[in-house]
Structure 1
């Protein structure tokens, strides 16, 4: 039996409307970061959230023509503190407005308690310790997200610049066990894996081979830049060629893969260019067609 064709889409940013107006027929879905649709003045503010009504209206122009997926950055599920219920309520309101097919967050820590600041922003995704304690913390929050939003939840593998030594379990094992406990899916960011290969000498074949293929619901592709001896997930270029090789090899092994999404930051739109974004979309469509035409592999994961 052949696999279903994954949808092809873009992570939404202020430059994407120009792409959608010029080449919207190549875009099946739009992935939305709801945190970018409001200004958050912090937990102590009298009026905490100020909504970006112009941005919401602009996004709404495309919501009827494209499927919508939610991709959050603010809930920081691995943080050892209660989930921010006010922020979760804003995410839920965004979901009611746009109707996300599923909702993803990151398996990275963005919030850390710091003195009198109850939820200090780290400024970047920090690595986490993959152990039983974290599995319990993340598992409870995933279950709360599932109950609140009523759609599948996925977690994205992160970019790591400094590995945690001697983890209790690998990242793929953690993702597998989280899925066993909660049904949580995985957003497999191939560019993050590429960055970890370059920075930490990770083996992509070992990483992907250790994943339960059933859990992967979405794939991200992107490009980045080196900076001071590290390779960054800056979303600043087209995807490296090896990422397409991985997608060709591994995509047909993920029977529940439903979407492929290209990420780029609006500040690099001029560098990549409309033609570059269109070329990425065309390559994603070719990959999706190849995946849908491939015979479903016999499950080998146990």
Structure 2
């Protein structure tokens, strides 16, 4: 089932019954692949019931695409089985690494943007897409530091990975705001330089504001609160350029009630509807 250009929500066990009992009007649901790699149990029963009614997007957090080591073939096999089981409309992973040696780190860590890293990540994405027999989407990271050895701007690096592999892109607008604040980038210039033509899904999430040792703003990508007003502004800017695009509300910690989460999705839906006429008008003037 294809993902429609509407707003979706990350599906959490706390909301299974609300979803199944009320059949809310949302475009799709998204789940983390690693939470469903077991053979059975209640989580699969609920997910199967949701999948019967709604399109599904699958979001991976454990492939460690950016790691300086081969991909975990067992993990990739489990992922392939899960995709065959649920036939998600989209599958995505992060531009990050989370494993070293035999250790798996419970974090998504950034990579330097160098030619060596580019070649390794492109090779890993090629392997993933060949194994799965389908395109994957690559998500831009939330970052807190820059590597001195980087020779590419992040947008140029992502564009070159996409060009070499033919992967799609997942644009996390909240990550753009977090990284731009932490590294003192212009988020609108970032979006202008980003390869928007390859974007097939958008993520929106909350963050925690802190300060660094020099009392400068520091944003932590926590996914534990509503989407910030500045992120909504960036989102509207993107929708003006792209038109309606599948958009996910990510909320992974300190979960709210289903009604509050659904209201966030409806805000994204309203934004897409309000900006769509501008997109159509701009297209009409170019004909």
> What's the TM-score, normalizing by structure 2?
0.88
Residue in structure 2 matching 1:231, options 197, 219, 226: 219
Aligned residue number for residue 100 of structure 1: 88
| 1:276 lines up with 2:260 in the alignment | yes
CA contact (8 A) 1:78 1:138 kept: yes
Aligned residue number for residue 157 of structure 1: 140
Aligned residue number for residue 260 of structure 1: 247
Q: What is the Cα deviation at residue 129 of structure 1?
A: 0.8
Q: Give me the whole-angstrom Cα distance separating, in 2, the residues matched to 1:87 and 1:159.
A: 24
Q: Give me the whole-angstrom Cα distance separating, in 1, the residues matched to 2:85 and 2:114.
A: 36
- Following superposition of structure 1 onto structure 2, how do residues 8-87 of structure 1 map, counting pairs within 5 Å? 8-21=7-20, 24-38=23-37, 50-51=38-39, 53-87=41-75
Compared CA separation, residues 8 and 19, structure 1 to 2 (3 A): farther
Corresponding residue pairs, total: 275
Q: What is the Cα deviation at residue 173 of structure 1?
A: 0.5
Note the alpha carbon deviations across 1:82-108, whole angstroms, 9 max, x for none.
Answer: 111111010001001110112111001
| 1:215 lines up with 2:198 in the alignment | yes
**How large is the RMSD of aligned CA atoms in angstroms?**
2.1
Q: Give me the whole-angstrom Cα distance separating, in 2, the residues matched to 1:292 and 1:152.
A: 27
Q: What is the Cα deviation at residue 243 of structure 1?
A: 1.4
CA contact (8 A) 1:101 1:151 kept: no
Aligned residue number for residue 246 of structure 1: 234
Relative contact order, higher structure (CA 8 A, sep 6+) = 1
CA contact (8 A) 1:130 1:167 kept: yes
Q: What is the Cα deviation at residue 12 of structure 1?
A: 2.1
| 1:137 lines up with 2:120 in the alignment | yes
Q: Give me the whole-angstrom Cα distance separating, in 2, the residues matched to 1:247 and 1:5.
A: 18
Aligned residue number for residue 41 of structure 1: none
Q: What is the Cα deviation at residue 291 of structure 1?
A: 4.4
- Following superposition of structure 1 onto structure 2, how do residues 150-229 of structure 1 map, counting pairs within 5 Å? 150-227=133-210, 229=212
Q: Give me the whole-angstrom Cα distance separating, in 2, the residues matched to 1:198 and 1:14.
A: 33
Gaps of 5+ in 2: 213-217
Note the alpha carbon deviations across 1:22-60, whole angstroms, 9 max, x for none.
Answer: 65332211112110124xxxxxxxxxxx54521111111
Q: Give me the whole-angstrom Cα distance separating, in 1, the residues matched to 2:15 and 2:240.
A: 29
Q: What is the Cα deviation at residue 220 of structure 1?
A: 0.4
Compared CA separation, residues 53 and 217, structure 1 to 2 (3 A): same
Q: Give me the whole-angstrom Cα distance separating, in 1, the residues matched to 2:57 and 2:169.
A: 14
CA contact (8 A) 2:208 2:219 kept: yes
> What's the TM-score, normalizing by structure 1?
0.84
Q: Give me the whole-angstrom Cα distance separating, in 1, the residues matched to 2:7 and 2:135.
A: 19
Q: Give me the whole-angstrom Cα distance separating, in 1, the residues matched to 2:21 and 2:199.
A: 31
Compared CA separation, residues 213 and 6, structure 1 to 2 (3 A): same
Gaps of 5+ in 1: 39-49
